[in-house]
């Protein structure tokens, strides 16, 4: 029996790389098991600290009680430690028609098939859809400036997005073609760069904040089995990153419909928008993930009035993207320390948690544990 999910991916691979569909199907059916996988941390040698800094980017590292942790995220110089209110006056966002981009060239069919087979073997629930492709970005302490165009999810996930699976094959043919240097990795004008928003939510209770976190489902196309903030979202729909953040709050925390423009009508969002003086919705950082080159706006949604939690805390649900939700107290020093030291995080997601906790400590120190967190970027 034909699998429509697999058929759609085979058709997309054929269109992107120019392989006959029958050849793609045969190659997928005869893929050998992977061998000689490369550890993700080997990318710290592939993209050296020196090359990052020459290109104007900084590796994101942090310390917790003096214990240093390296991540596989990088940020533009000065694009961490921010607290930019994401509102119309501070969010300067443009959208332009699609332009030229770098596409894979001379990638052997057997290699593409092996990467796609690894993607399919995890049972990921993926489908093609519109996404916002990043063309330029600048974050300062006062504003977010970004330009996007539109593209398709498969165009990203079956090219640059396969650089994640490629690490398991031991051959970096896609990476060597699409992103062989830091400058190529960060050349958003020519490299198809997908991504979105990572949002740490913090809802005040009487003497702390509750932080909804998650363990990602095996069915998601990214970060399966990893810890995460809620939401973690591709940038779709309205072009402002803040719009994606609020829409995904409804989807991933309150069970709303996928990518629905009706998110503004949800009672929780209406409460947030009508109590702006009691809400911090801020951009805290911008990250690029070295593994697959995705961009992410790190954000914090801190609600200072316990009334929000009293009204809506009981309505939280676990979306299909989460294997489990974790409700962690901002004052639970031991649990937060354990999470910050856990190995299974996406780098930009861990950075979002760190930046959010540092900012929460600034906003409401009496509600937030002193974890002795320090960014080292």
User: Per CATH, is 62-85+196-375 categorized as 3.90.79.10?
Assistant: yes
If one counts every other C-beta atom within 10 angstroms of the C-beta of residue 22, the result is: 10
Tell me, what's the pLDDT at 1? Answer: 42
Tell me, what's the pLDDT at 221? Answer: 66
Kindly give the residue spans of alpha helices, DSSP state H, lying in the chain. 4-17, 21-29, 43-46, 49-54, 109-121, 153-157, 163-169, 173-178, 182-185, 241-254, 267-274, 306-312, 333-341, 347-363
Handedness of CA 158, 163, 169, 174 (dihedral sign): positive
Distance CA 37, CA 169 (A): 5
Distance CA 90, CA 118 (A): 41
- The pTM score is 0.95
Tell me, what's the pLDDT at 2? Answer: 60
pLDDT digit string (tens) for the chain, length 377 residues: 467 889 999 999 999 999 999 999 999 999 988 888 999 999 999 999 999 999 999 999 999 998 999 999 999 999 999 999 987 789 999 999 987 666 677 899 999 999 999 999 877 788 899 999 999 999 988 999 999 999 999 999 999 999 999 999 999 999 999 999 999 999 999 899 999 999 999 999 999 999 999 998 776 767 778 899 999 999 999 999 999 999 999 999 999 888 888 999 999 999 999 999 999 999 999 999 999 999 999 999 999 999 999 999 999 987 777 788 899 999 999 999 999 999 999 999 999 999 999 999 999 999 999 999 999 96
Distance CA 348, CA 182 (A): 17
Contacts of 183 (CB under 8 A, 6+ apart): 55
- The CA angle 320-212-358, to the nearest 5 degrees, is 135
Annotated domain spans of the chain: 4-40+95-185, 62-85+196-375
């Amino acid at each position: 029996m034909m699998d429509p999910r697999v058929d759609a991916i085979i058709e997309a691979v054929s269109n992107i790389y120019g392989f006959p569909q029958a050849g793609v199907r045969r190659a997928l059916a005869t893929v050998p098991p992977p061998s000689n996988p490369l550890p993700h941390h080997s990318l710290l040698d592939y993209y050296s600290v020196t090359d990052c800094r020459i290109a104007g980017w900084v590796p994101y590292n942090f310390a917790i009680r003096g214990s240093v942790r390296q991540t596989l995220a990088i940020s533009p110089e000065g694009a961490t430690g921010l607290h930019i209110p994401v509102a119309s006056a501070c969010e300067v966002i443009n959208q332009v028609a699609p332009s030229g981009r770098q596409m894979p060239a001379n990638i052997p069919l057997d290699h593409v098939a092996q990467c796609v087979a690894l993607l399919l073997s995890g049972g990921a629930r993926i489908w093609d859809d519109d996404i916002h492709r990043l063309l330029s970005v600048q974050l300062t302490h006062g504003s977010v400036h970004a330009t996007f165009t539109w593209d398709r999810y498969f165009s990203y996930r079956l090219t640059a997005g396969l650089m994640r699976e490629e690490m398991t094959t031991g051959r970096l043919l896609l990476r060597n073609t699409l992103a062989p240097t830091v400058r190529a990795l960060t050349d958003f004008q020519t490299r198809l760069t997908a991504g979105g928003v990572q949002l740490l939510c913090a809802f005040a209770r009487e003497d702390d904040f509750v932080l909804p976190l998650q363990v990602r489902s095996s069915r998601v196309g990214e970060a399966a089995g990893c810890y995460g903030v809620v939401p973690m979202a591709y940038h779709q729909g309205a072009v402002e990153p803040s719009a994606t953040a609020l829409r995904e709050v409804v989807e991933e925390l309150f069970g709303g419909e996928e990518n629905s423009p009706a998110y503004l009508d949800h009672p929780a969002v209406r409460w947030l928008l009508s109590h702006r003086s009691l809400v911090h919705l801020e951009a805290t950082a911008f990250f690029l993930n070295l593994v697959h080159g995705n961009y992410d706006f790190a954000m914090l949604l801190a609600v200072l009035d316990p009334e929000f939690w009293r009204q809506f805390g009981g309505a939280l649900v676990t979306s299909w993207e989460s294997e489990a939700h974790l409700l962690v107290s901002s004052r639970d020093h031991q649990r937060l320390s354990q999470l910050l030291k856990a190995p299974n995080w996406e780098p930009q997601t861990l950075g979002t948690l760190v930046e959010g906790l540092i900012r929460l400590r600034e906003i409401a120190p009496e509600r937030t544990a002193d974890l002795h967190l320090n960014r080292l970027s």
